[in-house]
Amino acid sequence: MLSRHDFGKKFKWGVTISAFQNEGAANRDGKSTSIWDTFTEKGLNVKNNDIPGETSAFYDKYEDDIQKTAFLGFKQFRFSIAWTRVIPDGIGTVNPKGIEFYNKVIDKCIENNLEPWITIYHWDLPQILEDKGGWTNRDILDWFGNLVHVCVQYFGDRVKHWIVMNEPMSFTGLGYFWGYHAPGRRGMNTFLRAAHHVTLCMALGGRIIRQMQPNSKIGVALSCSYVKPSNHFFFNKGAARRVEGLLNRFFLEPLLGMGYPTKLLPGLGLIKKHFEAGDEQRLAFDFDFIGLQYYFRVVARFSLFPPLLFAREVPPAQRKSELNEMGLDVYTGGMYKLLKFYSSYPQINSIIITESGVCYTDFLRGKKVHDASRRRYHQKMLKQVKKARKEGVPVDGYFVWTLVDNFEWVEGYSPRFGLIYNDFKNQRRVIKSSGHWFRKFLKGDERDS
């Protein structure tokens, strides 16, 4: 049986959105251009030639969305700050209209008995900073440090939970190695330089928040995947260990004071050429929690390409796996395995599942959206969390990705993750059956066998 009461009174139940994917209003009230504005305007890699437009119009509909979050029974509301909205020049000049907007969001959360959780960086770097090198320019430590300072200065009187960054592996790997995401740059050296600066900035952001607001709770949100070898041959097992090292350990271990996992991935030793004196110590910070974000399993096999990693994924379709709308492997059992993996680090005292969600094809029929597959997905995930908690894993929260269907980066508008259906033509919201299930579950009225 699965019940809300299985998780205890202090367990955090929340939803997550992001600025670029939800706000819209890209050219209003002083906001400047982000790398994702530029990337999507050029039509680079975005499916169906979709353009963000107003996305889900959170900038105008924030009151309604926050009220719906409270109606569904959640108690935490996680959103991100658009760097381009609060500091349009990227470096120093604060935009009063941007500050005003986020103050209104925070106040509306509190008015609806929702605890605001702020993500300081969720991928939307100001284009003006990318023109100066972006994450490959070490000056970004100063730029990012200023952003953190501004956020705590203006919002810290009411916000006590901070996530410094969202999914560093995703935005550095896809944006600075493969060129598949904004800003569309490629190459191992570009990736390693950007990744090192990102790691330094995560720890730096934590130290700034701790200094300015000692009683706050500070974390990072890391993407991770359950990785297994394609078979039991030793070279495929080695490939799986290397993939796991890259996806699950590359950013985590330096933050925990262990350094980059270069013994497992010797090629990553090249990152040392981007070090300056004292960086080894600057990489680490004692975070209050680590955010876990799990969406898909990876089955790995040995391959001569790419070099340094010497591994490739066996495509999910080839394995006849259950797939989501994006063609990714749906495997809820990976949640338990990853929670056990994270809890093996003695430095981690609290784990928050800062995103969990799935995209399936949704249909609006009249005034209803019946998404039983999404409901079952969350039920299965929560059973994995319950199992881990029973075994002593310190997992303390579950945040759904996402509240409202939005713009899913290069996948455009096709993948729908929301508990609330959005008609992008008129921004009309309809709570899906999965959302109604969460309302009953969080009220304690719903049990699942």
Q: Which H/E stretch holds residue 163?
A: strand 161-166
Phi, psi of 115 (to 5 degrees): -85, 120
Q: Which H/E stretch holds residue 395?
A: strand 395-401
Q: DSSP 3-state assignment of 321?
A: coil
Could you tell me which of 302, 300, 377, 391 has the C-alpha nearest to residue 342?
Answer: 391
Q: DSSP 3-state assignment of 8?
A: coil
391 is catalytic: no
394: tokens are 């310190």
The string of DSSP letters for 92-106 reads S---HHHHHHHHHHH
- The residue annotated as part of the active site, out of 130, 244, 253, 355, is 355
Could you tell me which of 284, 185, 192 has the C-alpha nearest to residue 246?
Answer: 192
Task: Kindly compute the dihedral angle of the four CA atoms of residues 142, 82, 133, 291, in this order, to the nearest 10 degrees.
Answer: 80
- The residue annotated as part of the active site, out of 167, 244, 253, 408, is 167
Rounded Cα gap, residues 448 and 442, in angstroms: 12
Burial string for 222-258 (b: 16+ CB within 10 Å, else e) reads: bbbbbbbbbeeeeebbbbbbbbbbbbbbbbbbbbbee
Could you tell me which of 79, 100, 98, 111 has the C-alpha nearest to residue 14?
Answer: 79
Rounded Cα gap, residues 121 and 164, in angstroms: 6
The radius of gyration computed from the CA coordinates of the chain, to the nearest angstrom, equals 21
54 is catalytic: no
Rounded Cα gap, residues 213 and 106, in angstroms: 17
Rounded Cα gap, residues 300 and 232, in angstroms: 11
326: tokens are 């994006």
362: tokens are 């949704």
Catalytic positions are: 167, 355
